[in-house]
Structure 1
Amino acid sequence: MTKRLPEDPAKKARMLTAAIQLFAEQGYEPTHVDQIAQQAAVSKGLVFKYFTNKEQLYLAALTAANQQFMTVIDRTVWQNSADLSAMIINATRYKIQLQLQFPAEFNLLMTAFVHQQQLPASSQAYVQKMFVANHDLTSELMTPVVALLQFKPGATAADLLEVIGYITNGYIHKIQRYLAAHPEITKIEQMEPLIQDLATKLKLVESGFIQG
C-alpha cells in the first residue's frame, strides 16, 4: 500500500491565496486550475491532489475567505456605539476598512453572493449557509443597541432591523460599485461622502421609528 505523503502547509496556503485572488477577479467558470497552479508555483497535479477538483478548490477558497473575516471581526464596533445611526455608520466604516485590507477575499464572497446560481451545488449550499450565519450575526451584534430604543406604537425591533437591512445592503452594493470604479481608493476617508449620505438616510428612518 502506497503511503500518502503529508501535505505541505506553505504550498497549500499558496494555492488557496492564488485561488481566492483569481476566482475573485475572473469568476468561477473563466478561472482554470492551470492558472491557479502557475500563480501558486506548484503543479496542476498537486492542486488536484490537495483539492480533488475545481469545485472543491472553489469551495475551499470561499471557506478560507469567510473564515478570514470571522477571525478578525471586532464585535465592539457594533456593541459600543451610542445609538442606532452611530452603530450602522461605525459598522459600515469598519466593513469598508476590512474590504480595503482584504480586497480579494471580500470580492470573492460578494461575487459568490451575487452569482450564486452560477456556482456548483456545493458552493451554492455554502453561500446560503454563510448568508444565514452572517444575517444572524448582524442581528446579534445589533441587539444590545436596538434593545435600548423606544418605538412608536405599531413599530417593532424586527421591523426596524428589516428596514435597516434593506438600506445597508443597498449601500453595500453601492459602495462595491464605487470602489470598483475607483481602484485608487486606499483609505476609509476617501469614502466619507457615501458614508455621510448613508447617515442622512438612517436619520430619516430613525425619525419614523423612534420616539423623539
Structure 2
Amino acid sequence: MLELNPDIPKDPEKVSRIMASATKIFAEHGYLQAKTADIAKAAEVSKGIVFRYFGDKGHLYLATVTYVIEMLTERADFTVWTDAKDLGDMIERAVRYKIQLQLEYPAEFRLSIQSFGEMNVLPEDIRPAMSDLWQKQTTTSLATLEEPVLDRMKLRPGVDKAVLKKLLNAIGTTVFTEAEGFMKQHPDAKIEDFEPIINEIRAEYEILEHGFEAE
C-alpha cells in the first residue's frame, strides 16, 4: 500500500480501519463529495491521525485506490484466464469470475473502476501517480492474463494484436458497466442472475473471433 509518510510510526489496526472506511465512503460518494471527517469517524480515529498518516485527502484517495487494487490482485485467481483453452472460453470464465468478485467486494470494485474516471477531478499533484498506477495495472494485466491466451491463438495474417487488445478491452469495459448497473437495480442478485449478460458477452466475442459474414 502507498504510504505518503513512511517514516511516521503507524498503528496497523488504525491503518486497516482507515482503508476500510475510505474504501466504502470514496466508493459511495466519489472523490469530490467524500469527506475526510466522515472517513475518520467511521474508522474511529481522529481526523488528525488521517492527515498525519496520509497527508491530505488526495493522497488518502491515492493510497486507498492503491490498497484496493493490491487487495483485489492478491485475492484473484489468475488461472481463470491463463488456463482457458481459447478466447471465448477465457472471456466467459473471466466475466463470470469478475462478476462473482464484484458481488463479493462491491465497494472495492466500484472504487477501482470509478478512480479511473475521476482522474480529471483529482488534485494536479495526484494525477501523475494515479495515471502511473493504472498504466502499470493495465500493462501487468495484459501481460499476465490476455497474452498467454492470445499467444496460443492463430491470428489471421494482417491482424494487429494491439488493435485486437483494444477491442477486447472496449467490450470488457462495456459489459462490466452493464453488470454494475444491474447490481444497483438488483442489490441481492447472485451470479446466476447474470447469465443473460454472460451469454451476451460470449456471443459478442464469438462474433469478434469468427466474424459475421457467411462464407
Which TM-score applies when normalising by structure 2?
0.87
Aligned to 1:78: 81
The 2-side partners of 1:206 and 1:42 are apart by 53
- How far 1:5 moved relative to its partner? 8.0
| Structure 1 residues 173 and 127, CA gap change in structure 2 (3 angstroms) | farther
Aligned to 2:155: 151
Alignment of 1:90-101 (within 5 A): 90-101=93-104
Alignment of 1:101-140 (within 5 A): 101-140=104-143
CA contact (8 A) 1:14 1:40 kept: yes
The 2-side partners of 1:52 and 1:19 are apart by 14
Tell whether 2:61 aligns with 1:58.
yes
Which of 177, 181, 199 does residue 181 from structure 2 map onto? Answer: 177
Q: What is the CA deviation profile of residues 86-131 of structure 1, one whole-angstrom value per residue up to 9, with x for unaligned ones?
A: 1011111111122112111111111111221111234422332233
For the residue of structure 2 that corresponds to 1:109, the secondary structure is helix
The 2-side partners of 1:114 and 1:176 are apart by 15
Aligned to 2:172: 168
Gaps of 5+ in 2: 1-6
Tell whether 2:47 aligns with 1:18.
no
| Structure 1 residues 69 and 5, CA gap change in structure 2 (3 angstroms) | closer
Gaps of 5+ in 1: none
| Structure 1 residues 149 and 96, CA gap change in structure 2 (3 angstroms) | same
The 2-side partners of 1:134 and 1:189 are apart by 29
CA contact (8 A) 1:78 1:142 kept: yes
CA contact (8 A) 1:15 1:40 kept: yes
Letter in 1 for 2:192: E
CA contact (8 A) 1:16 1:61 kept: yes
Q: What is the CA deviation profile of residues 167-200 of structure 1, one whole-angstrom value per residue up to 9, with x for unaligned ones?
A: 1122122222222222222x22221110101111
For the residue of structure 1 that corresponds to 2:31, the secondary structure is coil
What's the Cα RMSD here?
2.1
The 1-side partners of 2:21 and 2:125 are apart by 20
Letter in 2 for 1:52: G
CA contact (8 A) 2:8 2:53 kept: no
Which TM-score applies when normalising by structure 1?
0.88
Tell whether 2:39 aligns with 1:36.
yes
For the residue of structure 2 that corresponds to 1:29, the secondary structure is helix
For the residue of structure 1 that corresponds to 2:33, the secondary structure is coil
CA contact (8 A) 1:22 1:31 kept: yes
CA contact (8 A) 1:58 1:123 kept: no
| Structure 1 residues 177 and 124, CA gap change in structure 2 (3 angstroms) | farther
Identical-residue share of aligned pairs (%):
35
| Structure 1 residues 88 and 47, CA gap change in structure 2 (3 angstroms) | same
The number of residues matched between the two structures is 206
| Structure 1 residues 23 and 46, CA gap change in structure 2 (3 angstroms) | same
